[in-house]
Amino acid sequence: MIIIRYLIRETFKSQIAILFILLLIFFCQKLVRILSMAVDGDIPTNLVFSLLGLGIPEMAQLILPLSLFLGILMTFSKLYSESEITVMHACGLSKNVLLIAALALSILTSAAAGINSLWLGPLSAVSQERIIANAKANPSLGALVEGQFQPSQDGNAVLFVGKVEGNAFTDVFLAQLRPSGNQRPSVVVADKGHIIEDPSGNQRILLETGTRYEGTALLRDFRITDFSHYQALIGHQEAMLDNSGVEQANITSLIASDSHQAKAELNWRLTLIISVPLMALLVVPLSEVNPRQGRVVSMLPAMLLYLIYFLLQSSLKSNAGRGKIDPMIWVWVVNLGYLALGILLNLWDSLPSRRLRARLRGAV
C-alpha cells in the first residue's frame, strides 16, 4: 500500500539519522575510555581504532531499539502536528496503517538486533579480550609510553624510554630481573634503540651505544660492558585470555549453563530483541500530538515509559546475576506487562472500546 510504504520510508529516514547521532555520542564516550587506557600504557596506541571498531556491536545493543523508538515517535508526532494523519483518517484510513508500518519496520530492526546481540556482540567481546591480552603479553613499539617504567607481564623485565620517535626510541633503561638459564640479573642503559619481531613471534630489543651492568648486589661481582650494539630477546609470551565473562559466551553456551550470570545474560539478550517490536507497539498510540500541549510535551509519556522499561530490565539483570531473582519469571513479567499496556493503548480509541466505555458510563 502506498501510504504504508510512505510511512515506512519517512520513519526509516528518521531512524537512520537518529542511529548515527546516537552512535556518534556512544562512539565519543568509548573513545575517551580507550584513549585513557592508551595514555596509562594499558594498550598500544596503534590498537585504538581496532578496539573502537570492535566496540560498535556493544554500543548497538541499546542504540538499535532506541533509534526505532525515537524514529517512530518523532515521525508520527510530526505527521500529527502537520495534520497528515488527520487527512488519512478523513480519507477512510484507520490507525492500523500506522501500526502496520511501525511493526513492519520493527521486524527488520529486530533481525538486526538479533544478529548483533546473539552473534556479533559475543564475537567482538572475545576479539577485544584477545587483542588486549596479547598486547599486554607482547608489547610492541606502540605500547611504549614516554617517561614511564613499564614492567613485562611476567615481571621479569622493566623498560623505560625517554622519548619515542617514529620506529625508534631514545634514553633507554632495561632491567632484566629474573633472566632465563644461568644468566645473572642485569641493567642496560643505552642512548637509543628499537624493537623488531622475528618470524617465530619472538621480540628482540636492539640497543645502540650504551652500557650493560651484570651481577647482584649481594655477591658484588659486577661485570660492566660498554657496547655499540646490543640485542636482547624478549620472547613471545602466551596471552592469558579470560573467557569467563558471560558477555563473551555464545547463545548455545548460555542455554546450556546453569549459572545465574548466564541465565541473566540470556534473558537480557532476548529482551534486546523483543523490546524492538514491543516498543514499536507501545509508541504508536503515544505519538499522537495534543495541539494544546505541543510535540515536546506529548512525547514525554512515551519517553518516560521507555526509560522505565530499560531501567527495570537493567535492574532485573543485575539482581538475576546475583541469584536474587529468577529472570525467567520477572523479566518476562515486565515484557508481558508492557505488551498488555501496548495492546490496551492501541485498542483504547477503537470503535468497540468507545462503545464499551459509553455503555459503562450509561450504566453508571
**Residue 192 contacts residue 170 (beta carbons within 8 Å):** yes
Q: Percent of the chain beyond pLDDT 70?
A: 83
Do 111 and 178 fall within a single domain? no
Type of residue numbered 220:
R
pLDDT for res 230:
84
Each residue's pLDDT tens digit, 14-63: 999 999 999 999 989 889 988 887 777 677 777 888 888 888 998 999 99
pLDDT for res 86:
79
Residue 84: give the domain boundaries: 2-136+257-363
Dist CA 204 CA 158 (whole Å): 14
Do 6 and 126 fall within a single domain? yes
Q: Which residue has the cell 542455554?
A: 255
- Cβ neighbour number for residue 33 with a 10 Å cutoff: 12
pLDDT for res 340:
95
Q: Can you tell me the mean pLDDT for 244-248?
A: 78
Q: Which residue has the cell 466505555?
A: 357
pTM of the model: 0.77
What values do phi and psi take at 187, rounded to 5? Answer: -130, 130
Q: How far is CA 281 from CA 64, 116, 257, 337, 342, in A?
A: 16, 22, 33, 13, 6
Q: Is residue 245 part of a domain?
A: no
Query: How sure is the predictor about 284, in pLDDT bands with cuts at 50, 70 and 90?
Result: very high
Q: Can you tell me the mean pLDDT for 69-92?
A: 86
Dist CA 100 CA 281 (whole Å): 9
Asked whether residue 281 carries a pLDDT value surpassing 90, the answer given is: yes
Question: Considering its fold, how many domains does the chain have in total?
Answer: 2
Q: Can you tell me the mean pLDDT for 188-211?
A: 80
Q: How far is CA 217 from CA 2, 62, 185, 220, 223, in A?
A: 87, 58, 10, 5, 12
Query: How sure is the predictor about 343, in pLDDT bands with cuts at 50, 70 and 90?
Result: very high
Q: Is residue 31 part of a domain?
A: yes
Dist CA 331 CA 336 (whole Å): 9
Across the chain, mean pLDDT equals 83
**What's the Rg (C-alpha) of the chain?**
30
Q: Can you tell me the mean pLDDT for 183-195?
A: 84
* Sheet (strand 157-165) strand order: 149-151, 157-165, 168-176, 186-197, 203-214, 223-233
pLDDT for res 140:
57
Do 190 and 98 fall within a single domain? no
Q: Can you tell me the mean pLDDT for 135-149?
A: 66
Q: Is residue 246 part of a domain?
A: no
Q: Is residue 239 part of a domain?
A: no
Do 46 and 188 fall within a single domain? no
Strand partners of residue 186: 176, 214
Q: Which residues contact 327 (CB under 8 A, 6 or more apart)?
A: 263, 264, 266, 267, 268, 316, 317, 320
Asked whether residue 263 carries a pLDDT value surpassing 80, the answer given is: yes
Query: How sure is the predictor about 359, in pLDDT bands with cuts at 50, 70 and 90?
Result: confident
Q: Is residue 238 part of a domain?
A: no
Query: How sure is the predictor about 202, in pLDDT bands with cuts at 50, 70 and 90?
Result: low
pLDDT for res 144:
67
Angle (CA) 312 317 321, round 5° = 150
Helix axes 121-137 and 56-81, enclosed angle (nearest 10): 140
Do 339 and 202 fall within a single domain? no
Q: Is residue 171 part of a domain?
A: yes
Each residue's pLDDT tens digit, 108-125: 999 999 999 999 999 998
Query: How sure is the predictor about 195, in pLDDT bands with cuts at 50, 70 and 90?
Result: confident
**DSSP state for residue 245 in the 8-state scheme:** -
Q: Is residue 252 part of a domain?
A: no
Do 190 and 209 fall within a single domain? yes
pLDDT for res 219:
67
Q: Is residue 248 part of a domain?
A: no
Asked whether residue 363 carries a pLDDT value surpassing 70, the answer given is: no
